[in-house]
Amino acid sequence: MPGQKTLEHHEELMTRMAQVVGADLDEAELRGDLTPEMRDDMVLSCTGCTSPGDCARFLDATETAEATPEYCRNGMILLALRTS
């Protein structure tokens, strides 16, 4: 299991990626489209990413995007949770 610092870092990356593609994870939980357990699983999946540095650079350079980078392990879920 990843350490707390790693979990916090990847939770931040995942939350930022969600914002960039227009997915509000808190709102998705309120709608019932995302459970807290699913969100935790997404963070764990993110910790297995081989490109966290690329992710951070992408997020630093991007305000909005239509899609996540190919390496994003949660890309499909984040796009499915996107709000209009």
Domain extent for 67 = 4-80
**pLDDT score at 1:** 76
Q: With 0-12 CB in 10 A as exposed, 13-18 as middle and 19+ as buried, what is 35?
A: exposed
Contacts of 72 (CB under 8 A, 6+ apart): 17, 49, 55, 78
- Residue 45, pLDDT above cutoff 80: yes
Number of domains the chain is built from = 1
Region 52-77 average pLDDT: 97
Amino acid at 70: E
